[in-house]
Amino acid sequence: AVWFLCRICYTDTSSPQEDQYPPNIAVKVNHSYCSVPGYYPSNKPGVEPKRPCRPINLTHLMYLSAATNRITVTWGNYGKSYSVGLYLVRQMTSAELLQRLKTIGIKHPELCKALVKEKLRLDPDSEIATTGVRVSLICPLVKMRLSVPCRAETCAHLQCFDAVFYLQMNEKKPTWMCPVCDKPAPYDQLIIDGLLSKILTECEDADEIEYLVDGSWCPIRAEKERSCSPQCPILVLGSSDVNGLLPTPNGNGENGKAAADVVDLTLDSSSSEEEEEEDEEEDDDDEGPQPKRRCSYEKGLVSAC
């Protein structure tokens, strides 16, 4: 599809300018006004509302014939100078942009390796030596493994994002911001990392790698979870089987050691209390009321092996 767009920016020739709407802008095509994106309300107090400054599509208001089209752009005078441009463009899909990027935007692995060395080069003014830098093989956009590792030429980091999903997201909502450093990453500055593309084909069982100072790399694999299950088998016994399987205590244990005494303290407390109450009632009938006595146990504590 062919579109007719209007773009407005500050009048500054020192550097490329982004789209910027002047205040109180009005765009009129022939006899109809074109809608301009409004301001986004801000939920934070004291923060001014923002306006998404994007190219204005005038296609639906243009005469597609030999007739003359008249376009009028007006805005308020607030001391700044603006420039207006009209462009005849063709819309490209994310698949077309990806194919074009694969054709002309791949950076050679050796150049990427030289960039790694430059990033890890020892700074003489710094007291901290960097021996390596870790790079994830998971896309920060969709949390999936990278298929086409991509980043902007102007980004200072080595971490990449997936070009497929990045182009698809900007096709629906164009922001062109790097998901790693949150800085502008327009299409004409995107590159495909040839070194990381090679690593993805050679290292399929790791989700992270580490670049070393000489430009080489090594995979970082997650440590296997240690098993918490015991090495010896577990025998489950019912209450009826315990008495038949417990060994009878002897005077002598194995290897000439004395067998440990086992004291069974599993007597039901309720039954023992009932027996004590019955004994006290019999004593009361024979001898009369007596003060309660505290039973003290002086049995030795034996640790069971």
User: Beta-strand (E) ranges in 131-185?
Assistant: 132-136, 149-152, 161-162
Q: Which of 189-193, 272-276, 294-298 has the lowest mean pLDDT?
A: 294-298
- Domain containing residue 204: CATH number: 3.30.40.10
Question: Is residue 114 in some structural domain?
Answer: yes
Q: How far apart are CA 188 and CA 190, in angstroms?
A: 6
Q: What is the pTM of this model?
A: 0.63
The pLDDT of residue 304 is: 46
Using the 3D structure, point to which of 159, 186, 219 is the last residue of a domain: 219
Pair (6, 116) in one structural domain: no
Across 269-294, b (16+ Cβ under 10 Å) vs e yields eeeeeeeeeeeeeeeeeeeeeeeeee
Number of folded domains that form the chain: 2
Pair (76, 101) in one structural domain: no
Q: How confident is the model at residue 300 (pLDDT cuts 50, 70, 90)?
A: very low
Question: Is residue 252 in some structural domain?
Answer: no
Pair (101, 215) in one structural domain: yes
Pair (77, 107) in one structural domain: no
The pLDDT of residue 15 is: 87
Using the 3D structure, point to which of 90, 111, 128 is the last residue of a domain: 90
The pLDDT of residue 229 is: 47
Across 166-202, b (16+ Cβ under 10 Å) vs e yields bbbbbeeeeeeebbbeeeebebeebbbbbbbbebbee
Would you state the structure tokens that stand for residue 3, as one six-digit string? 């579109």
Instruction: Work out whether strand 71-74 and strand 149-152 pair parallel, antiparallel, or are unpaired.
Output: unpaired
Q: How far apart are CA 120 and CA 30, in angstroms?
A: 59
- How many C-beta neighbours within 10 Å does residue 9 have? 17
- Domain containing residue 68: CATH number: 2.60.120.780
**In this predicted model, what pLDDT tens digit does every residue of 7-40 receive, in sequence order?**
999 999 888 888 999 888 999 999 999 988 877 7
Pair (85, 16) in one structural domain: yes
* Percent residues over pLDDT 70 in the chain: 70
User: Beta-strand (E) ranges in 190-303?
Assistant: 190-193, 208-212, 217-219
Domain range enclosing 144: 94-219
